Amino acid sequence: MAERQWRSVVVLCGGVGGARFLDGLAAVLPAASLTAVVNTGDDFTHWGLHISPDLDTCMYTLSGHAHRERGWGLYDETFHTLEMVREYGGEDWFQLGDRDLATHLMRTEALRQTDSLTDVTAALCKGLGVEPTLLPMADLPRATWIDTADGHSLAFQDWLVKERAEPPVERVRFVGPAKTTDAVLEAIEDAEVVFIAPSNPYVSIDPILALEGVRKALESKTVVAISPIVAGRAVKGPLAGMIWQLAHREPTAGAVAEHYEDLLAGMVVETGDEDTLPEGLAHVATATVMGDRDDRARLAREALDFADAITRVRPHEIWALVPIKGWSDAKTRLGPLFDDDARRVALAKKLAGHVLDELFKVGLGGVAVVTDHMEVAQFARSRGAKVLLDPPDSEFAHIIDASLDTLVRHKARGALVVMADLPRLDADDVREVLDIMGGHPCVIVPDRHDQGTNLLGLVPPDLFGTCFGHADSKKRHLSAATRHDVPAVVLRSETLGLDIDTPADVLALAAVEPPAEPPADPAADT
């Protein structure tokens, strides 16, 4: 299976566990392909400063500043300020380190100039050289509150840190406007896969899912969760207890899967935990506890491979689209080779028939022929192809694009535009192109002169407007892919690269074809 180049991966995450998984993804993906949507329900004002613990934990982890064991705060840290506050009898339950304070000072000051926590976060990340995009789940305050079983209501940090998460939880509430940002919704829309990091579902992920439009945006996405529970224990924090208290059931990976209900297309769980999962949930079992950075990268790679396996576009989700002009004006440049039109037409039919026959061997979702000539439509139908009648006398590329839009309406996830005059195309060649299409949104197979485009794979079919009909369509397709910020794979192929347009092409074919058996000399038999 061709190694997939991910264009856009989004991860929903909270603090420590989420940040470590995010760090693993950052180690294996280009920064431009990775966006984290980070919980800000833990944010609060302390010492007059705006503290965003999960954003800081992600930023410090990605920049290598994070304290290894604790996961939050900085590894190279002192607490002189805290000691001095303590001397004053000030609030010393939340340990703010001296270097950590710089972040809170900068963020608080910046938030006096703008109410966009998104922009402030981007500036802080730039300062620390963090390249993946960290998006706060919201720009406005949306605080997580804990209603405890003994009737109190605690702000999140008061419950988690001051009370050390001891009071049993009755309810988790979110206070403030349930408004996410356009950046978050756009990132999710654009994502090829959305991971739910191994964070606490109740107080790190639910705050994100509860925001308007987020669940809706996720409906059409492949969502894969990484289990935060290992063999019935939370890797970090109060999660196991919360599952007992809130779901009234044993804390297992299955309990987490069911908490996310039908959001999940799949789940990555600790080896041995897979039998706690609900029936039918696609999953992969592996070592999910992340120690060092290599561990994180390994887990991230396994999660990506799993996501690829369940999101790959399969052959049966791809349609072939074969444009065939009317026979009479086909292969006119071969005119000189034939003493009459009938033979020229016969060649065009033979070529098109060969291409359709080979395409039908591949197991595609379907084969569609686009034409505006009835005899071609008849020919195509006789071979089992769907016929799309193209809008009369429009440009070749527009005809193709209109047909590709039709395939999208037919729920095709991918389309392979195939020229009808490729004598050396065979089913295996096409399978090779489909395998690349499985993980790549654009595959260009140029002609043997590296000018035209003999096949063009697009996932989705309407990825961008095609440029067929131009002599230099290969170059134009490449720049269209670049314009749409999509990695294009150019596959040069001896066999697929030969299309029959000119007498020279016929000679090239003749040069390849083994000489046909000389016709048996009827006289020789006797």
Q: Which long-range contacts (CB under 8 A, 24 or more apart) does 232-235 make?
A: 234/200, 235/17, 235/198, 235/288, 235/289
Determine the residue type at 429.
Answer: D
Nearest by Cα to 28 from 132, 122, 134, 127:
132
Q: Is 441 in the site for ligand FO1 (CB under 6 A)?
A: no
Q: Is 201 in the site for ligand FO1 (CB under 6 A)?
A: no
Residue count, binding to ligand FO1 (CB under 6 A): 17
SS3 of 420-433: CCCCCCCHHHHHHH
Ranked by CB distance to ligand FO1, the top (closest) residue is 15
Q: How far is the CB of 119 from ligand FO1 (least distance, A)?
A: 20
In the bound state with ligand FO1, the residue whose beta carbon lies nearer, of 207 and 439, is: 207
Measure the CA–CA gap between 190 and 217, rounded to whole angstroms: 10
Helical (H) or strand (E) element with 479: helix 473-483
Determine the residue type at 302.
Answer: E
Dihedral sign (CA 155, 160, 163, 166): positive
DSSP state of 411: T
Which region among 91-99, 247-255, 323-331, 461-469 touches ligand FO1 (by CB under 6 A)? Answer: 91-99
Q: Is 372 in the site for ligand FO1 (CB under 6 A)?
A: no
In the bound state with ligand FO1, the residue whose beta carbon lies nearer, of 80 and 248, is: 80
Per-residue contact string for residues 98-117; x = within reach of ligand FO1 by CB under 6 A: --x-----------------
**CB of 226 closer than 8 Å to CB of 43:** no
Measure the CA–CA gap between 177 and 71, rounded to whole angstroms: 29
Q: How far is the CB of 366 from ligand FO1 (least distance, A)?
A: 49
Measure the CA–CA gap between 520 and 517, rounded to whole angstroms: 8
Q: What is the DSSP string of 67-79?
A: -TTT-SSBSS---
Q: How far is CA 182 from CA 2, 55, 244, 306, in A?
A: 34, 18, 36, 29
Which region among 26-34, 95-103, 320-328, 497-505 touches ligand FO1 (by CB under 6 A)? Answer: 95-103
Q: How far is the CB of 123 from ligand FO1 (least distance, A)?
A: 18
Which region among 92-100, 189-197, 428-436, 455-463 touches ligand FO1 (by CB under 6 A)? Answer: 92-100
Q: How far is the CB of 154 from ligand FO1 (least distance, A)?
A: 13
Q: How far is the CB of 56 from ligand FO1 (least distance, A)?
A: 4
Measure the CA–CA gap between 145 and 157, rounded to whole angstroms: 9
In the bound state with ligand FO1, the residue whose beta carbon lies nearer, of 15 and 497, is: 15
In the bound state with ligand FO1, the residue whose beta carbon lies nearer, of 156 and 195, is: 156
**CB of 423 closer than 8 Å to CB of 436:** no
Contacts of 526 (CB under 8 A, 6+ apart): none
Torsions phi, psi of 309, nearest 5? -60, -35
Q: How far is the CB of 217 from ligand FO1 (least distance, A)?
A: 24
Q: List binders of ligand FO1 among 268-287 (CB under 6 A).
A: none
Which region among 9-17, 350-358, 381-389, 503-511 touches ligand FO1 (by CB under 6 A)? Answer: 9-17
Q: Is 136 in the site for ligand FO1 (CB under 6 A)?
A: no
In the bound state with ligand FO1, the residue whose beta carbon lies nearer, of 95 and 114, is: 95
Q: How far is the CB of 231 from ligand FO1 (least distance, A)?
A: 22
Which region among 155-163, 348-356, 393-401, 504-512 touches ligand FO1 (by CB under 6 A)? Answer: 155-163
Q: How far is the CB of 254 from ligand FO1 (least distance, A)?
A: 23
In the bound state with ligand FO1, the residue whose beta carbon lies nearer, of 14 and 201, is: 14
Helix axes 98-113, 53-63, angle to 10 degrees: 120
* Binder of ligand FO1 out of 47, 75, 79, 94 (CB under 6 A): 94
Q: Is 157 in the site for ligand FO1 (CB under 6 A)?
A: yes
Q: Is 497 in the site for ligand FO1 (CB under 6 A)?
A: no
Q: How far is the CB of 17 from ligand FO1 (least distance, A)?
A: 8
Both tokens of 156, joined, read 């999140």
In the bound state with ligand FO1, the residue whose beta carbon lies nearer, of 228 and 446, is: 228
Helix axes 16-28, 293-311, angle to 10 degrees: 70
Q: How far is the CB of 165 from ligand FO1 (least distance, A)?
A: 8
Supply the Cα-derived Rg of the chain in whole angstroms: 30
From the number of C-beta atoms within 10 Å of its C-beta (0-12, 13-18, 19+), residue 366 rates as: middle
In the bound state with ligand FO1, the residue whose beta carbon lies nearer, of 61 and 118, is: 61
In the bound state with ligand FO1, the residue whose beta carbon lies nearer, of 83 and 513, is: 83
In the bound state with ligand FO1, the residue whose beta carbon lies nearer, of 251 and 461, is: 251
Measure the CA–CA gap between 293 and 396, rounded to whole angstroms: 52
Q: Is 96 in the site for ligand FO1 (CB under 6 A)?
A: yes
Helix axes 16-28, 53-63, angle to 10 degrees: 40
Q: Is 328 in the site for ligand FO1 (CB under 6 A)?
A: no
Per-residue contact string for residues 36-75; x = within reach of ligand FO1 by CB under 6 A: ------x----------xx-xx--------------xx--
Is beta strand 153-155 parallel, antiparallel or unpaired with respect to 169-175?
Answer: unpaired
Interacting residues toward ligand FO1 by CB under 6 A: 14-16, 42, 53-54, 56-57, 72-73, 94-96, 100, 157, 160-161
